[in-house]
Chain A
Amino acid sequence: MKLTLTIWRQRNPGSRGKFVSYPMNDVNPEMSMLECLDVLNESLIERGEEPVAFEHDCREGICGSCGFMVSGIAHGPEPATTVCQLTMRHFKDGDELVLEPWRSRSFPFLKDLVVDRRSFDRIIQAGGYISVSTGSPQDGNDIPVGKEVADRAMDAAACIGCGACVAACPNGSAALFTGAKIAHLGILPQGKPEQDRRAVRMVAQMNTEGFGSCTNIGECTGVCPKEIPLEVIAKMNHDYLAGAWKERHKVVTAITPVTDWELAKK
């Protein structure tokens, strides 16, 4: 099949970017979006041009490395699919696909379709864990967890941190990501002891990163390759409001990131 890929090309954060159209004449419908870019890159390298930079790792939809906008929709038009799993048969012969990187102040641009998503790492560092003392492990059956509770936690834990929620949100909010990370631990008994501190610290980091606010419209859930429900945002708000009150005597700190390319800009 024939496709035209219109791709955002930008060498580095400092240079000016532009859209470049690449006509492709021999796209195999069984290829994934990323394989289609691989084929394009082969031809670009043969012609002596710079290949298109994009992130990828597992190519089976579970690592969260890949992701870009395909004609205005994060991860493309197929629901619950990452771009590495998005096969080209979903498009029509002759289609033009516009590929753009995630656009967010908190995801600084790096190159072509690659952005810096370490703001997500810092949100997890702020509290997305449980503290377990070393020593011999407790017997698993000592902590009863109901099936429904485990299912809810698993639904939230399915988040792969790809950033599509931020990219799709008209406000650039990271509420779905932060909510998923707060919820999947807070729902389980192992996560309960640190629930208040976790919510307060992760929300504080999220707000320090410069993400926008949630307006509860659900665009994030609509594009999420793991279909994380909006319920996790309510769980975040609930835990944050309760935690902010219970932990009001504590001084909460957050990390303000300063990266060297930001310094280079100044």
Chain B
Amino acid sequence: MSTAVAGPHATRAPGFWQSTNGKKAVMAITGAILFLFVIGHLLGNLQVFDGPARLNAYGRFLHNLGELLWIVRGVLILCVVLHIVATVQLWARNRKARPVGYKVKKSVASSYADRTMYWSGPIVLAFVIFHLLEFTAGTIHPESRFIPGDVYHNVVAGFSVWWVSAWYIFSLILLGMHLRHGIWSMFQSVGLNHPRHTPVLKQAALWIAILITAGYISIPISVLAGWVR
């Protein structure tokens, strides 16, 4: 049996968006913007510890931004859509890249967080939708009434339900794992890697992810423990 190439023909090469590298760069940049949002949102949320007046004033401030608020929301939605579309397309491509699987396959270098990005991502997405319905739209607000404008009341009432808090904590731990890989991976995807800086960046990614997760989780824990009421 000969395996000689019978008829190679030149084709137009995949463009930027068609290439895996281009899609990963888009994922890195959209991921970076969403990461900045996660930090900003955390700083805003932590004002819950300053009492109702402060948090509700912050809520009013955001709503009074008017068009600017919708521009920011638009950018975030665009980032989420691009991040997900690129992921889904690459995932489909990667599944096709190995039609016959291995009988035995062991991981030797990757971490649990690295390998579960395909799981942490969709679960965090489901959480974000639930979170928006609960605290922004107010359509889901178990066991209490959603009061538009009274952010502090909504937070305390929402997190007083144990399973809402549990779901929140679980999702935020997954977000932390997603960030633990994503924070350093986005630098790699846009071509920034240095033998000296990258090990530091990987350590920093771990600690930033832990700090962000701890910061967010402190809110439902404080509500459940009765420190914030």
Q: Collect the chain B residues with CB atoms within 8 Å of residue A171's CB.
A: 90, 94, 97-98
Shortest CB-to-CB span from A139 to chain B, Å, is 31
B45-53, B110-118, B167-175 - interface stretch: B110-118
A205–B103 Cα distance when bound, in Å, is 30
Q: Given known contacts A105-B97, A252-B13, is B192 in contact with A234 (CB within 8 Å)?
A: yes
Q: Is the CB of A253 within 8 A of B3?
A: no
Give chain B's interface secondary structure class.
loop
A90–B13 Cα distance when bound, in Å, is 45
Q: Count of A residues near B, CB < 8 Å?
A: 70
Q: Collect the chain B residues with CB atoms within 8 Å of residue A82's CB.
A: none
A168–B102 Cα distance when bound, in Å, is 10
A96–B103 Cα distance when bound, in Å, is 13
Q: Collect the chain B residues with CB atoms within 8 Å of residue A237's CB.
A: 21, 24-25, 188-191
B binding-site residues for A, Cβ under 8 Å: 1-14, 16, 18-25, 90, 93-94, 96-111, 114-115, 117, 181, 184-185, 187-195, 198
Q: Is the CB of B102 within 8 A of A253?
A: no
Q: Collect the chain A residues with CB atoms within 8 Å of residue B98's CB.
A: 103-105, 171-172, 212
Q: Is the CB of A204 within 8 A of B13?
A: yes
Q: Collect the chain A residues with CB atoms within 8 Å of residue B5's CB.
A: 118, 257-259
Shortest CB-to-CB span from B203 to chain A, Å, is 15
Per-position contact with B for A68-84: 1 when CB-CB < 8 Å, else 0?
01011100000000000
Q: Collect the chain A residues with CB atoms within 8 Å of residue B117's CB.
A: 215
Number of A-B contacts (CB under 8 A): 194
Q: Is the CB of B97 within 8 A of A234?
A: no
Shortest CB-to-CB span from B15 to chain A, Å, is 9
Q: Collect the chain B residues with CB atoms within 8 Å of residue A208's CB.
A: 11, 13-14
Within 8 A of B (CB), among A169-215: 170-173, 175, 200-201, 203-208, 210-215
Per-position contact with B for A200-244: 1 when CB-CB < 8 Å, else 0?
110111111011111111110111000001110111111111101
Shortest CB-to-CB span from B45 to chain A, Å, is 30
Q: Collect the chain B residues with CB atoms within 8 Å of residue A251's CB.
A: 12
Which of A110, A173, A222, A256 sits near B8, CB closer than 8 Å? Answer: A256
A171–B114 Cα distance when bound, in Å, is 13
A139–B140 Cα distance when bound, in Å, is 76
Give chain A's interface secondary structure class.
mixed
Q: Is the CB of B109 within 8 A of A216?
A: no
A60 contacts the other chain (CB 8 A): no
Q: Given known contacts A104-B97, A259-B3, is B10 in contact with A222 (CB within 8 Å)?
A: no
Q: Given known contacts A213-B23, A258-B8, is B13 in contact with A100 (CB within 8 Å)?
A: no
Shortest CB-to-CB span from B22 to chain A, Å, is 7
Which of B102, B109, B110, B195 sits near A231, CB closer than 8 Å? Answer: B195
Q: Is the CB of A260 within 8 A of B24?
A: no
Q: Is the CB of B6 within 8 A of A258?
A: yes
Q: Collect the chain B residues with CB atoms within 8 Å of residue A132's CB.
A: none
Closest chain A residue to B8, Cβ basis: A255
Q: Collect the chain A residues with CB atoms within 8 Å of residue B105's CB.
A: 69, 72
Q: Given known contacts A103-B101, A207-B19, is B11 in contact with A253 (CB within 8 Å)?
A: yes
Q: Given known contacts A240-B21, A263-B6, is B110 in contact with A212 (CB within 8 Å)?
A: no
A41–B2 Cα distance when bound, in Å, is 24
